[in-house]
A and B are shown apart, each in its own frame.
Chain A
Amino acid sequence: MNLRRIEERFFFTCMIVSLLVVLSSLVIIVSLIVFNGASSLSLEMITQTPTGGYFLGGSGGILNAILGSLFLALPATGLAYLIGMCISLFLQSDFSPSWMSNSIRLFLDVLWGIPSIVYGIFCLMIMIALGFSSSLLAGICALTLLEIPIITRYIDESIKTVPIGLKESSYSLGSTKFETSIKVIQRQALPGILAGVLLGLGRGIGDAASILFTAGFSNNIPTSLFDSTAALPTMIYSLYAQPNPVVREKAYAAAFLLLIIVLIISVVSRLLTRRLTKHVLR
């Protein structure tokens, strides 16, 4: 048989095998979580906070972790979006020269590669220096730092695709750079911006290492920025570390909840994207 035909068949087989590896990993992970966790998922779990004996098999739920995760990730994503948007607009060629924008992009790439625990320890050091203990505020700061490189790079790539003729049209009408950035560029780049924000949010809600030391842990729902708070990733860790198998099952349930939250965010934002981007030029 022809050597080129063999090469083709081999390459195609590699592609199929890779696809199967990815798909089966996803299926296995989700099945494992659902299989182990669905039975211990209950209404009590999502509506109550843990009592003192929860980790030893007592009653209660993980409402503190659910709300804690949302209170941490949503403000962090919002802040990271604002900062990311400002940086990305500055990176355009009409605001900064290319040597500067290329250096900034390099810095962002390096920041993206920093492990999240390093962000956690960095924020911890600052907290201690300022005399604070673990708190919601510190957790939000750590998550914001984590999300900034991700969101900024997505927004930046999206803004790069805005055709220069569109900017010229806006400037020709006597528009300032700021007006053009907010009213024209942001609108045109919206699909990429939303994708970046969604990805950042997903990362923030699921990350454990950065909030381990900064947000601390608490059985109660946080009521102020200076309270410690639990979050779903840290709750999963705490539950799974217990010797009692019944309690360990609750860890799977918590993981299942986390999956559901991320899924809901994904679906809602997809619907929102369609509505918000109907004016974008394609």
Chain B
Amino acid sequence: MITNPEIQIQTKHLNVSIHNHEVLKDVNIIIPSKKLTAIIGPSGCGKTTLLKSFNRLLEIHENVQIRGEITVDGINILQPKLDVPDIRKKMGLLSQKPYPLPMSIYDNVAYGLRIHNHMSSKKIGELVTHCLKEVGLWNEVQNRLHDPASRLSVGQQQRLCLARAMAVQPEVLLCDEPTSALDPLSAQQIELLLKKLKNDYTVVLVTHTLRQAKRIADYVIFLYFGKIIEQGPADQVFNNPFRPETKAYMKGDIS
């Protein structure tokens, strides 16, 4: 099997049905490594479903049928005998609404470390500090690391979720409209963080804000009612799209 190091994730003829309703139809895409790929399209057309199929998170819902192939680093993750938690460990998830775990701020970030590695508490402490500094949260929480995480503001919670995801050292960051529930200042902080992180991680960002995608995306996939209409480098899709649907979406005729 020849694996192209520039492609992190690839799907072939991916079809997803939820409750017998076809959500994704014959999806063939590539996600390039160490770049920020934006998945854009109108609401309800399957963007989140596509994102959650990458780390096999769809399976926890009932009545989901997935057919096709999804390869991550050359391995088909839909094979039956794989260890699902291991697959998920490679990908961090940032949801639309931040869900801090019901623990202290410190324990939130340390959660992933404690379940995967047998590290000394000193090492865990160093990694937690490092991750909190990376997301710019350290100064705000260093004096209250053992306070409940639910007491943070929404913007801080989202940064905490990012720090928590980074702690397990994933290769891919899956972001599902991470700024749509935040105020403009926090949204900007998250955007800048993602822009910084795309050099070290492969970031997949689902967004329904075209302007956000234009600001930070390197590669764009346009999804319209479960079908891939167009995909390519950001510059080409935004400024010189091939398909008429893409042109209409860029102009704002369809949303």
Q: Are B150 and A281 in touch, CB under 8 angstroms?
A: yes
B148 touches A93 (CB 8 A): no
Given A94-B60, A168-B60, A174 and B101 contact (CB-CB distance below 8 Å): no
8 Å CB contact of B150 from A165, A175, A280: A280
CA distance A164 to B150 in the complex (A): 17
The residues in B between 44 and 93 inclusive whose CB is less than 8 angstroms from any CB of A are 52, 55, 57, 60-62, 85-86, 88-89, 91-93
A270–B164 Cα distance when bound, in Å, is 32
Pick out which of these stretches binds chain A: B34-42, B108-116, B222-230: B108-116
Cross-chain contact B102 with A174 (CB below 8 angstroms): no
Complex CA gap A282/B89 in Å reads: 27
Looking at the assembled complex, report how far the CB atom of A197 sits from the nearest CB atom of chain B, in whole angstroms.
18
B99 partner residues in chain A, CB cutoff 8 A: 163, 165-166, 168-169, 281
- Interface residues on chain B, size class: 20 to 34
A169 x B115 contact (CB < 8 A): no
Interface centre among B57, B92, B101, B116 (most CB of A within 10 A): B101
Residue of B nearest to A168 (CB): B57
Which chain A residue has the least Cβ–Cβ distance from B100? A281
Contact of B102 among A93, A171, A175, A184 (CB under 8 A): A184
Chain B residue nearest in CB terms to A166: B99
Q: Residue B237 at the A interface, CB < 8 A?
A: no
A58 to B209, CA, bound (A): 85
CB of A168 within 8 A of CB of B93, answer: yes
- Contact residues in A for B95 (Cβ distance below 8 Å): 165, 168-169
Given the known inter-chain contacts A169-B161, A281-B150, please indicate yes or no for A93 contacting B85, CB distance below 8 A: no
Size class of the contact patch on chain A: 20 to 34
B61 and chain A: residue at smallest CB distance: A93
Are A173 and B102 in contact, with the CB atoms below 8 A?
no
Chain A residues lying within 8 Å of B89, measured Cβ to Cβ, are 173-174
Question: Which residues of B are at the interface with A, using a C-beta cutoff of 8 A?
Answer: 52, 55, 57, 60-62, 85-86, 88-89, 91-93, 95, 97, 99-104, 111-112, 115-116, 148-150, 161, 164-165, 168, 174
6 shortest interchain CB distances as A-B pairs: A174-B89, A172-B93, A173-B112, A187-B102, A169-B99, A279-B148
Residues of A near any B CB (own CB < 8 A): 93-94, 97-98, 163-176, 179, 183-184, 187-188, 278-282
